[in-house]
Structure 1
């Protein structure tokens, strides 16, 4: 579905308001998202960000845009170095393990791959060149510890994303760590001179022996693949400061151009009202939940079903409800596949038009997923009523199914229903035995067999069209 450049509106963190989305190049979107720091398995709080970005990309593509998506991989920083040293293996071996795990996880969650996944360790020359430019322009300097720092007071717009008052900052105060709070805002490290704590992790460059700071990595890699000015930059709200603030300072000081037009940030995932984070010990990895038998697509649905700018409290009850909702969607598709009724005299087409219009308007409005899903489930309820009355023809059912498939290109939660489900031979025999018991009006035996099938993970449904079965969640 093609769109005009003014129908989509996003909340831009930079301006603190919703703005009409107009890409730099008509019909094309260049988008950068902060990817994983591969020192451990990503937790589902991390995946809330990656799923929001996936939903954003899918919606832009649904509306006719060609999206070039870059997601970086931070494979050298304070955390990865410490992790590799703790396990007594090389940084490459250590990070490759978690990179592989990350790609397995995004596949399980049905996240569409980015066009590029640049690794920090493979783009050191670009980082060095960018730092040299900043030195030449007077925005960076070498400190007594031989590290190179960014002089934040030299950049007059420092703080425009996170609303820091630069006049209150102490001249020349420096901070070497990658992550810190607003109250600790100081000149930050672009290039960290080697110290014994770094072990064998260093590069010999014109800047000296050392390694890049975290913030310069994203500036260098985003501009390498998307140009000096691009359309959208995403991340979690905890990336606003210092990471994204520092990216703006580095990139705009070096190029003299606006770095990014639209900044989109998702809110935290909470557990018991507190941000989910490894440092708090209140996190779940995707693998933790899969081991407990949860469907990764139910996890996907749960994490995209609340607006990205609203905090969301994770509970297992919510996850169970998400699973039930995904099953409802899949069952609806099965009902459509089996429909062969009299016809609805145009009601189905009218319902499709209404639902598609409402869904589109909601998603165009800063990805208002709650209203979009409400339109979808209103449609399903109305069509189920017609299906119950045997008033949906095969042609109408196909049109309804095509509409749901178009929506699922955005949601990515019911494609699994298209897969053929195979029934174990023992279950087939039990279904036949149950049918014979029903014909003999032996209802006790029929109920016993239904329960036995349920224990095997096969759910039986008696319908006017005959017995239907489906596999339960494992």
Structure 2
């Protein structure tokens, strides 16, 4: 039974798929105007755990993620410059070329480097322009829109009694204390459905519409893409906490105005990550990319461990010291995982309660994560189990239980714990045997010689009274 903190209800809700055992999930994707940074990837690492967990629990998951390649203005609402057009000017390219460049980089980092599970539908906003125009036309026909001359087609939020329910906005307070950012708005919370192109210039990305040449508002694409690929209602919608007051609030307004049904049952929002206690920004020159992580010698798995060491609802703080700690934590896991190659024993049923690790260790990990994706506690549980494995005599380690625990970690966390801990070669095993025999004969010179030879190949030896255990260095 999976329980998740639902931003809409402000409590942990039990996931109950609307369509039996199929869970429909929509994730807000990247705006592809520049290279992604680690702050972008944090949320996707968490949602990857969610997908893996649900599938492990026997549920079918259908997920859509958009790619914003048009319409996202620098203010995140209806003012400022289109981020794609801005990126194009910065790089001296067309917005189309900028989109292609950063889509290629983002998909490589997500699915080749981080090994995240690819969504069933990975959709570009520009591939759904016709559908967005049709959706806007339906809103207009229902009386939810009005035109601001020279600006665009806007959604009238006063037509909804429950506008702002996700963020629990104080609409009256906003009206009294805020300044309307776009002249001609009827209400401070109204937002653009379709923006007109400037009359005196041509944009890289613009399309004909019933209201004039222009481009879709940022919020429109997610409502349309979710409905086209998943239907009128979905089970889970994920994104960053910055989307709660504007973007996700406006998605709900658009979609529910068309369908008359609750859009998403559960809304999940991940918190931000800072760098050395400061918000990442170009002005502070503290933006960290995945390339920076790799260039410092850390693996994608170690980065995931660093991310998962805090809960998705808690604000994170990146430092290189935290990365070093996460890297050491992952190495400790690898050390324990490598022991599966050095034992060939399954504990009898009668003694399974005494085995290391416990046969209940894998299920305990799942139960921890089922409680609102409690990744910090899950990592602590893994630490505890692997510490027991490392400290236990080899004779008490159950190979099948250890293998099962490692596979569960791999399946749920996606940290490559199996491929990163391969067995050593037969030649190395023979050297370890010869060294053991030399030690029994007290031939310390030969023992040391073999030890040094193995160390040169990246293998260290830890001697116990009955065994010699190898470890990668």
- Alpha-carbon distance change, 10 to 138 in structure 1, aligned in 2, over 3 angstroms: same
Unpaired stretches in structure 1, ≥5 consecutive residues? 1-6, 178-183
- Where does residue 244 of structure 2 map in the other structure? 240
Q: TM-score, normalised by structure 1?
A: 0.85
State the alpha-carbon separation in 2 of the partners of residues 103 and 317 from structure 1: 28
- Alpha-carbon distance change, 319 to 350 in structure 1, aligned in 2, over 3 angstroms: closer
2:315 to 291, 311, 314: 311
220-229 or 401-410: bigger deviation: 401-410
1:44 to 34, 38, 42: 38
- Where does residue 225 of structure 2 map in the other structure? 221
1:10 to 4, 19, 28: 4
User: Following TM superposition, by how much is the alpha carbon of 1:258 offset from its aligned partner in structure 2, in angstroms?
Assistant: 1.0
Does residue 301 of the first structure (1) align with residue 295 of the second (2)? no
State the alpha-carbon separation in 1 of the partners of residues 40 and 435 from structure 2: 47
- Alpha-carbon distance change, 14 to 279 in structure 1, aligned in 2, over 3 angstroms: farther
- Alpha-carbon distance change, 191 to 209 in structure 1, aligned in 2, over 3 angstroms: same
Does residue 256 of the first structure (1) align with residue 250 of the second (2)? no
* Alpha carbons 1:148, 1:189 under 8 Å: kept: yes
2:287 to 283, 288, 306: 283
* Alpha carbons 2:342, 2:469 under 8 Å: kept: no
- Where does residue 144 of structure 1 map in the other structure? 149
User: Following TM superposition, by how much is the alpha carbon of 1:377 offset from its aligned partner in structure 2, in angstroms?
Assistant: 2.6
- Where does residue 382 of structure 1 map in the other structure? 388
- Alpha-carbon distance change, 26 to 176 in structure 1, aligned in 2, over 3 angstroms: farther
- Where does residue 4 of structure 1 map in the other structure? none
User: Following TM superposition, by how much is the alpha carbon of 1:192 offset from its aligned partner in structure 2, in angstroms?
Assistant: 0.9
State the alpha-carbon separation in 2 of the partners of residues 300 and 449 from structure 1: 34
1:311-350 correspondence runs (5 A): 311-340=315-344, 343=347, 345-347=351-353
* Alpha carbons 1:348, 1:400 under 8 Å: kept: no
Unpaired stretches in structure 2, ≥5 consecutive residues? 72-81
Does residue 128 of the first structure (1) align with residue 128 of the second (2)? no
User: Following TM superposition, by how much is the alpha carbon of 1:389 offset from its aligned partner in structure 2, in angstroms?
Assistant: 5.0
- Alpha-carbon distance change, 150 to 218 in structure 1, aligned in 2, over 3 angstroms: same
Give RMSD over aligned pairs.
3.3
1:73-472 correspondence runs (5 A): 73-77=67-71, 78-106=82-110, 107-170=112-175, 175=181, 185-195=188-198, 196=200, 199-278=203-282, 281-340=285-344, 343=347, 345-347=351-353, 351-386=357-392, 388-392=393-397, 396-417=398-419, 420=422, 441-442=444-445, 446=449, 449=452, 453=456, 458-464=458-464, 465-466=467-468, 468=470, 470=472, 472=473
* Alpha carbons 1:193, 1:211 under 8 Å: kept: yes
User: Following TM superposition, by how much is the alpha carbon of 1:168 offset from its aligned partner in structure 2, in angstroms?
Assistant: 3.5
State the alpha-carbon separation in 1 of the partners of residues 246 and 389 from structure 2: 50
State the alpha-carbon separation in 1 of the partners of residues 87 and 366 from structure 2: 45
User: Following TM superposition, by how much is the alpha carbon of 1:370 offset from its aligned partner in structure 2, in angstroms?
Assistant: 2.2
State the alpha-carbon separation in 2 of the partners of residues 378 and 420 from structure 1: 23
State the alpha-carbon separation in 2 of the partners of residues 305 and 380 from structure 1: 16
- Alpha-carbon distance change, 73 to 11 in structure 1, aligned in 2, over 3 angstroms: same
State the alpha-carbon separation in 2 of the partners of residues 343 and 250 from structure 1: 59
185-194 or 272-281: bigger deviation: 272-281
State the alpha-carbon separation in 2 of the partners of residues 265 and 67 from structure 1: 19
- Where does residue 67 of structure 1 map in the other structure? 61
* Alpha carbons 2:341, 2:423 under 8 Å: kept: no
Count, aligned residues: 450
User: Following TM superposition, by how much is the alpha carbon of 1:375 offset from its aligned partner in structure 2, in angstroms?
Assistant: 2.6
- Alpha-carbon distance change, 403 to 192 in structure 1, aligned in 2, over 3 angstroms: same
State the alpha-carbon separation in 1 of the partners of residues 60 and 372 from structure 2: 19
- Alpha-carbon distance change, 131 to 407 in structure 1, aligned in 2, over 3 angstroms: same
* Alpha carbons 1:352, 1:403 under 8 Å: kept: no
State the alpha-carbon separation in 1 of the partners of residues 308 and 346 from structure 2: 37
Q: TM-score, normalised by structure 2?
A: 0.86
Three-state SS of the structure 1 residue aligned to 2:409 is helix
- Where does residue 79 of structure 2 map in the other structure? none
Three-state SS of the structure 2 residue aligned to 1:54 is helix
* Alpha carbons 1:55, 1:304 under 8 Å: kept: no
- Alpha-carbon distance change, 309 to 291 in structure 1, aligned in 2, over 3 angstroms: same
Q: Deviations over 1:263-287 (max 9, x none)?
A: 0001111223233355654320101
User: Following TM superposition, by how much is the alpha carbon of 1:390 offset from its aligned partner in structure 2, in angstroms?
Assistant: 2.6
* Alpha carbons 2:355, 2:396 under 8 Å: kept: no
State the alpha-carbon separation in 2 of the partners of residues 320 and 37 from structure 1: 30
User: Following TM superposition, by how much is the alpha carbon of 1:303 offset from its aligned partner in structure 2, in angstroms?
Assistant: 0.8
State the alpha-carbon separation in 2 of the partners of residues 450 and 222 from structure 1: 59
